[in-house]
Each structure stands twice: as C-alpha cells, then as structure tokens.
Structure 1
Amino acid sequence: MTAHLVRRQSVVRGEAPWWLLPAMEGNLWEPVGAELRALGRTGAPVKIARDFTVLTLNNWGLDELASDARLVVSELVTNAVRHAGEPTRLRLLHRASHVVCAVFDPREQPPVVTDADYFAETGRGLWLVESLSCSWGWRLQAGRGKLVWAAFTAPSAVGRRNSA
C-alpha cells in the first residue's frame, strides 16, 4: 500500500464554492444550514451523522442527494474517528447551487489519500469521497484542528443548467 499526503490545503479536486470557507469558519449560515455537535468517539457517531444527513437533506427537499451525501459523511466521520480521535461537529450547508458536508476534528494532520491494494479492507474512503462529490478538500483551522469538506451540486442547479 502506498500513501501520499494531499499537498493542496484548500481544494483537492475542483473549486470550492465561493461562500464555503467564510461560512465554515464563521456562523454565516445563510440561507440554509444545520449542525450536529459533539459526535463522540465510538462507532455511534457515524450512524448518528448518517441519519442526521439524510433527515436534513430530506427536510430541505434534496432527497436525490441523500444517498451519496450519506456515504460521504460516513467516510468523513469515520476518518475523523479513526485518525483524529473524534469528530467535533458535522455541518451541512445549502446554497442555490451546492450542498456542502463538512466535518471538523481536533487534529491538524491533513487527509492522506492512499492507493490501497486490491485485497485491502481500508484505504479507499477519500477516493469514494472524490468519486461522489463535485469537489472536496480540507483546511487547517489555526490551532483548532481541521475541516474536511465535500460539495455536491444541488439537483435544482443541475435542472437549471440542463434546461438552459
């Protein structure tokens, strides 16, 4: 198995929505946002985060994204539990064109993308995040850990783009 450090600090694939980082670093949740705090250290936070994501997206009328977002949140929270000890919170944001899932954790180590061999049971999570999202990345939070995020194109934005 080969591991390599992700070299870019903010964007790994694609561009972050312009409003993402200010919204994550402050409390600029307009127009729609939801947060789940204190997820804990055991396997329970993964299920709690998945259920919260599905319920929130369903409440926002974004059922089409629920399955992919659920899987991505599961990977991000699992990585936080496994490598940082615990995720501190999960934040979901929705703007007209994007939905963003972001997991905060206390460790200031960047995500490591690995090339798992064929028989490995782990090591494919960030590849899965990359495959399901339109962009993803991470950012250090100046002495407060890091934020790992994944963005999805909102279904209404896809419909507008295809009908134009």
Structure 2
Amino acid sequence: MNEHAYRVIVTREDGAWLADVPELEGTHTYARNLPGLDQAVREAIALSEDLPDGAEPTLRLAYEYHTGDPQLDEAAAQLRALRDRVRIDEQRVAQQTVQLAKEMVSLHSMSVRDAAALIGVKPQRISQVAPRKAVPRVGTRKSVRAASGQWSMATNSTKTGAEQDARRTG
C-alpha cells in the first residue's frame, strides 16, 4: 500500500466539485458528487504518476474541503477527525476483546456465556474469536445414557426398541 498521502484541495463551484492536487502540477478534475470526485481524483493521480493498473484504491488521499462556508468546512473537518479517532478506538477494542476472550475461555476455563457477559458482547462473538472444544458434560442425561450403554451418541441405538421398552416398563 502506498504510504504517501496526496493532498487534495476540493472546492464547490456552480453545483460541481473541483479537485486540485497541488504537488502534481496540472492534476485536477471535477465531478457532480463527492464519491464520483474521489474516483476521478484517484484516476487523475494514477495517470499523472504513471502508476500501474489497479493502484487507485491503494492511494491515500488527504482531502481539504472548501464549500464556501468556513464554519461548515471546520465543523465537517472536526467530525471527520473524530470519526477517524473512533475507528482507531474500535479496532483497538476489537483486538483487546479477542485477546481477553481467548484468555478467559482457554486459560480460565470460563463458559462462552460467562466470558460474553463479563466483556459485554454476545456469546456468538466469543464463539467466533475463542471457540471451545466440545467436551461432554458429566451428569447430563446424554452422558448417563451413553455410559450405561442404553444408547450411543450416533443415531443408531445400542439396544433394540423392544429391549428399551422392556427396560422402561419393567
């Protein structure tokens, strides 16, 4: 991925968005909307820098918007910066969740439900990031029946239906 961030100055004029890349002389473009402008800017930079096909998505762009209303521009810039910080925090929280979930389930032998309650996520999330090995629980109806030979874990029974009926009634 390209680590260099291209500075892009965007202005609004007569219902269109204009973009200029100051460090690349003559690199400018326009579009009717901002998503279209983003694609056009990426293509213009790729052409100007003679980048290989498919390089456009990897370009890092640092947009500077000028809508004609400085207060709007500043408010939007602050909100974008806040969203960037939140995105970074979300990634950090996700990594810590995975790490702690694995520790709780494997090292501390906690159930998926208990780990989920302690961390504040759904049990399904714990199962995704820290799956447990299936271990038959002692004292359950299945384990008692399996131990007594009354039926196996497979779909076929170890005793015939008549033998099971006789055992139940007698």
Does the pair score TM above 0.5?
Answer: no
Task: Name the structure with the higher strand share.
Answer: 1
Q: Work out which of the two has the higher radius of gyration on C-alpha atoms and give 1 or 2.
A: 2
| TM-score range relative to shorter protein | under 0.3
In the superposition, the TM-score normalised over structure 1's length comes to 0.24
TM-score normalized by the length of structure 2: 0.23
Q: Which has the higher contact order (CA 8 A, sep 6+)?
A: 1
